[in-house]
Structure 1
């Protein structure tokens, strides 16, 4: 009879092998350490990695031995820096550890210079690029001030779900916040069906449940809803009520990264967006740090309603 190792065991051993391989490729000179005369390892010693990461030698040894120990995101961050991991390797490290990256500021391959230019050129129409988890990966100046001041927020808080339940300005901008929030939770639950085991999705869900009783109540309903175009009213703090059509343009063959636009439905709303764009014409180049690499871009196809 063949037995299959639990997923947690496989992940621990993969993590151990990955750490060991990264440690062995780094020379002491790369991290400012003396080589010494009696170095038998091809790269850094375990105690040197522990020293550079400010963790205990025994603890790090257990990690490379695939022992069943807990690893905090902060320690993983320190290890990633000590081992000089690039963006892809850092993402892989956190995935193997089943943890959410606390500083996911690596450039996002889904947000190309061409897409950033297109966001700028869409102004004064508010537009952003989101992934399927509702992280806001990039936005133009109109979107940045439409619902709240996105530039004032840390990158990890630039998520539509998080803002819908925790940000007072975002909530105040919604003419029907109860219905909007019910809808986004139902869409999030439908999208999460394909990502149930992914750490970043589970971390966002846990964060929302810990922070918002309103979210917990809506999540418990188990409602699901697909994505599609919809008109909505937005009460902008600078220019007043706007009637906009929320549309999605897929940036891949599946419901992953997408270009989101808020197109004015009437002339009053169009004029309002023009006034909003004119509030700060000298600051249109500001961009957020992307959250994390998302799904690769392959096709450009219009979203289904």
Structure 2
């Protein structure tokens, strides 16, 4: 049995992975990018990867040997692209070298996994929905649509309905304190997490056309990531004027990290009645 007499040097584990990932690459697949009178057979060398990522051979060699350097996200992304790393390998490279996750890419969102959609439906009779990083509602179960019919409209957005829809200010009780201040505080974190997102910039611009939202945005400095366990009171048409207190629970699906899975549960014991049945 192999006995380790000393811990692995910092970076060594990732360095071994990098060498394995580089050795699995057929150099001919990168031949056109390398240019010049280079040999076309064999595996990529450290010099090859350095040339393809635009750094010196010594700089790339430091990455493979675990030597501490201030490696930028752009360089690590370039290495991952050259070595054709998949999502899990790219994550391992970033965490092992810098302790950071790869920066999020703002690409067209993929459809929610079928299993997540199935899980959404089994939450009935509790309202449940999926929203993306800009609070677009990408899926909702039948009870959510029964309580909040606006989720069936084209391109429904939670922030826009809560903060801009006139009916929201009467259906969501304590609108300013329990909704507007909390939702705008979430937007502050989102805007700093993804400063390059055109969708978030457009959303914030639309919301700040409202005088109340603009005042709260200017006066308040609170930040909230996810209001998990947020207790709120509603007076919805589906409840025929009755005030209903609910709690929203926020989950983050591992398979779709850009989505929020939100379940709304009533705080009373009632489980029957017309408001508990999905719309036909």
Q: TM-score range by the shorter chain?
A: 0.5 to 0.7
Is the Cα contact below 8 Å between 1:147 and 1:173 reproduced in 2?
no
Q: TM-score, normalised by structure 1?
A: 0.51
Question: Does structure 2 retain, via aligned residues, the 8 Å contact 1:127–1:259?
Answer: yes
Q: Provide the C-alpha distance between the structure 1 equivalents of 2:204 and 2:131, rounded to a whole number of angstroms.
A: 17
- Equivalences for residues 174-193 of structure 1 within 5 A: 174-179=172-177, 180-193=179-192
Among 234, 237, 252, the alignment partner of 2:254 is 252
C-alpha distance in 2 between matches for 1:230 and 1:203: 26
Deviations 1:278-303 (A, max 9, x none): 3622xxxxxxxxxxxxxxxxxxxxxx
- TM, length-normalised to structure 2: 0.55
The Cα shift of 1:245 comes to: 1.1
Match in the other structure for 1:237: 237
CA distance in 1, matches of 2:278, 2:248: 23
Give the number of aligned pairs. Answer: 171
Give the conservation status (yes or no) of the 8 Å contact 2:143–2:277.
Answer: no
The 1:256/1:229 distance shift into structure 2, 3 A limit, reads farther
Find the counterpart in structure 1 of residue 225 from structure 2.
Answer: 226
Contact 1:147 1:170 in 2 (8 A): no
Q: Give the root-mean-square deviation of aligned CA atoms.
A: 2.5
- Note the C-alpha offset of 1:132: 2.7
Equivalence for 2:171: 173
For 2:149 and 2:134, locate their aligned partners in 1 and report how far apart those are by CA, in whole Å: 19
Deviations 1:143-166, CA, capped at 9 Å, x for gaps: 123244322x221xx111111122
Do the aligned partners of 2:191 and 2:201 also contact (CA within 8 Å) in 1? no
Q: 1:119 and 2:120 equivalent?
A: yes
Q: CA deviation at 1:264?
A: 1.6
Give per-residue Cα distances to partners, 1:175-227, cap 9 Å, x unaligned. Answer: 111111111101111222111121111111112223x1111111113321232
Structure 2 distance, partners of 1:223, 1:255, is: 24
Q: What is the distance in 2 between the residues matched to 1:196 and 1:217?
A: 22
Q: Which has the higher contact order (CA 8 A, sep 6+)?
A: 1
Structure 1 portions without partners, runs of 5+: 1-91, 97-105, 282-305
Whole-angstrom CA distance in 2 between matches of 1:142 and 1:193: 33
Alignment of 1:25-36 (within 5 A): none
| Superposed counterparts of 1:70-219, under 5 Å | 108-151=109-152, 153-155=153-155, 158-179=156-177, 180-210=179-209, 212-219=210-217
> CA 1:141–1:253 in 2, change beyond 3 Å: closer, same or farther?
closer
Q: How far has the Cα of 1:119 moved from its partner?
A: 1.6
- CA deviations on 1:120-155 (whole Å, 9 max, x unpaired) are 22111000011232221110121123244322x221
CA contact (8 A) 1:148 1:169 kept: no
User: What's the offset of the Cα at 1:110?
Assistant: 4.6
The answer as to whether partners of 2:113 and 2:255 remain within 8 angstroms in 1 is: no
